[in-house]
A and B are shown apart, each in its own frame.
Chain A
Amino acid sequence: MVTGGKFHDYAAAGKPLKDELVIDAHTHLGVFNRYHIPDADTDSVVREMDRLGVNRACTFAFAGVNSDFVYGNDVTAAAVGKYPDRFVGFAVVNPHYPDEMVPELERCLALGFRGIKLIAAYQDYPEDGPNFFPAYRFAHENRLMILSHGWSSPEFLDRLAKDYPNAILIVGHYFHMPEYAEVVKKHPNVYQCTCAAGLNFGDIERMVAAMPVEKIIYGSDFTGWPMPFSFGPILYARIPDDAKRAILGLNMKHVLEELGA
């Protein structure tokens, strides 16, 4: 078992990760109906990223999750426009507006977005429902990432990865057991996000044991969650420092380079 190491010492000292590449694959912007978020304006978020040593963040707006997805995408566009080197925009779509889905994705693509965020559980619509398929096709045709809160089932994700190989499909959360591990291993276009790892003891070690480390990417869920709450379990994990370095940034760097983002 690997213990200690550079990242462990960073965490124990509260030292920012400024010497390392950190790319966060799963973040939010804006205010939220469900709970209060302090210091949530985009300038403050960039300042927090600077303070902790987070280089880039794939992001989308809370407004798109629980309210008007077009307005939410405007919030994201404003952040990407102001900080193009710090934010990678993800468009939120709503399956209850099927006629607007592709036009909205085309608008977001023109604004420089490089991904799509699905939050089907919050919209009371399944990921394997027909209204999402135009988004899957769009991602495939335009070489985009899709980060989804869940994917209905490993079988569905397996089929999607095969049918849309140009899309990068990201399992948005890790809840204790690596239920998508076999699909992640099988398809080069499927990745696992660390978001929510740590809510159960030993999540990172369990994840690394279940799938190739190069398929695991760091996601924090900020500004819902504190960034250190999410990178803490990686820094302290009993895995080699090189694995931590890959998860925190290098893996996502390769994905972004491949997509030209």
Chain B
Amino acid sequence: MAGEPLSFFDANCMVGRYKQFRTGSFHTTDRLLEEMAYHGISEALVVHALSRENHPLTGNAAILGEVDARRNLHPAWSALPPRSGELPKPHDFIREALDKGVRAIWLFAGQYSFPLSEWCVGALVEELEEHRIPTFIDADPEYAAFGPERFDWDHIDELCRNHPGLQVILSAGRFRSSNRLLYQLMERHNSLHIELSGYWLYRGIEFICREFGAQRLMFGTRMPLRDPSCTVAIVNYAEISDEEKRLIAGDNLRTLMKEARW
């Protein structure tokens, strides 16, 4: 790595007590900041464990309290299919999110057991698309999932086709068995991105950069579950240009988050 140290912006961090806590790990915001400093990560997008495992109502409020006054931590919220009325209507929900400085939304489709089909999330996604909110999708049923990824690729295709302005970032405990399918969809949809914490494939970064461009990848660690050094190292050691590294390390995410607006 010839240039300046990369300014890593971690797209996938969580704070708060989570169900499958691992001995030796952590769950507090202060410790997250310590680990970020040790691993050279300057910023992070952080979701609360309650948003993932319990309910967006509780977690979305909690994360605002956690990241308040810590300028290098950015809050992320999670959302649900809207018709139950548990959350404000999509229009109001997105307005509130932007008002409170939230520039990214997670759809934990596996954890909350909903499909990403139009009839289910279409109304919500229309608002996300209109306001250019980066939308992270995780189809794993548990945070600590380790098996083959659970995406319904037809639904991802439908989502990207019906909402071409929606910036979709796929996140998984492990992208593995279906990377051949993933590439088919990346060819079809320029709006489709991969968050790196689960994309641990030999020379995978080099392949994506070569075939689809560095703008399709986003650095993420999956702290506090995973060791952040895994994805820090695959970016630092990737055989790609310094500019491509800067994009992956953080500039791609910064660009997308800046585009979010009411």
Task: Report if A and B associate in a common complex.
Answer: yes
Complex interface: stretch among A69-77, A138-146, A185-193, A229-237 = A229-237
Whose C-beta in chain A lies nearest to the C-beta of B6? A14
Q: How far is the CA of A108 from the CA of B1 in the complex (A)?
A: 40
Quick check: is B214 within 8 A (CB to CB) of the other chain?
no
Residues in A neighbouring B176, C-beta threshold 8 A: 34-35
Q: How far is the CA of A225 from the CA of B5 in the complex (A)?
A: 24
Complex interface: stretch among B20-28, B54-62, B97-105, B111-119 = B20-28
Classify the interface of chain A: helix, strand, loop or mixed. loop
Q: How far is the CA of A198 from the CA of B23 in the complex (A)?
A: 13
Would you give the shortest CB distance from B150 to chain A, in whole angstroms? 15
Quick check: is B185 within 8 A (CB to CB) of the other chain?
no
Q: Which one of B180, B223, B226, B239 contacts A35 once the chains associate, using CB atoms below 8 Å?
A: B180
Would you give the shortest CB distance from B36 to chain A, in whole angstroms? 13
Quick check: is B224 within 8 A (CB to CB) of the other chain?
yes
- A199/B146 contact (C-beta < 8 A), A225-B200, A229-B200 known: yes
Residues in B neighbouring A110, C-beta threshold 8 A: none
Quick check: is B234 within 8 A (CB to CB) of the other chain?
yes
A200-221 contact mask (Cβ, 8 Å, vs B): 1 or 0: 1111111000000000000000
Quick check: is B231 within 8 A (CB to CB) of the other chain?
yes
Would you give the shortest CB distance from A192 to chain B, in whole angstroms? 16
The answer to whether B236 touches A11 (Cβ under 8 A) is yes
B16-34 contact mask (Cβ, 8 Å, vs A): 1 or 0: 0000001111100000000
How many A-B contacts are there with CB distance less than 8 Å?
Answer: 131
Quick check: is A40 within 8 A (CB to CB) of the other chain?
yes
The answer to whether B225 touches A226 (Cβ under 8 A) is no
Residues in A neighbouring B238, C-beta threshold 8 A: 228
Q: How far is the CA of A11 from the CA of B238 in the complex (A)?
A: 12
A19-57 contact mask (Cβ, 8 Å, vs B): 1 or 0: 000000000000000111111100000001001100000
The answer to whether A235 touches B180 (Cβ under 8 A) is no
Which residues 79-109 of A have a CB within 8 angstroms of B?
none
The answer to whether A233 touches B5 (Cβ under 8 A) is no
Quick check: is B255 within 8 A (CB to CB) of the other chain?
no
Whose C-beta in chain A lies nearest to the C-beta of B210? A38
Would you give the shortest CB distance from B186 to chain A, in whole angstroms? 12
The answer to whether A38 touches B206 (Cβ under 8 A) is yes
Query: Which of A13, A15, A35 has the most B CB atoms < 10 Å from its CB?
Result: A35
Would you give the shortest CB distance from B237 to chain A, in whole angstroms? 4
The answer to whether B203 touches A39 (Cβ under 8 A) is yes
Q: Which one of B201, B202, B203, B232 contacts A236 once the chains associate, using CB atoms below 8 Å?
A: B232
Q: How far is the CA of A229 from the CA of B232 in the complex (A)?
A: 8
Q: Which one of A3, A13, A16, A198 contacts B227 once the chains associate, using CB atoms below 8 Å?
A: A198
The answer to whether A38 touches B237 (Cβ under 8 A) is no
Quick check: is B72 within 8 A (CB to CB) of the other chain?
no
Residues in A neighbouring B180, C-beta threshold 8 A: 35-36
Whose C-beta in chain B lies nearest to the C-beta of A28? B202
- A176/B234 contact (C-beta < 8 A), A201-B223, A222-B202 known: no
Q: Which one of B1, B146, B178, B234 contacts A232 once the chains associate, using CB atoms below 8 Å?
A: B234
| Listed A/B pairs (13) with beta-carbon separation below 8 Å | A11-B229, A13-B236, A14-B1, A34-B176, A37-B201, A38-B206, A51-B239, A201-B223, A222-B202, A226-B200, A230-B230, A231-B233, A237-B229
* Known A14-B237, A48-B203; further 10 A-B contacts with Cβ < 8 A: A13-B1, A36-B180, A38-B203, A39-B207, A176-B23, A202-B22, A224-B201, A225-B200, A228-B238, A236-B233
The 5 A-B residue pairs whose C-beta atoms are closest, nearest first, are A232-B233, A14-B1, A14-B236, A236-B229, A38-B207
Partner-A contacts on B (CB < 8 A): 1, 5, 22-26, 38-40, 146, 176-180, 183, 200-207, 223-234, 236-239
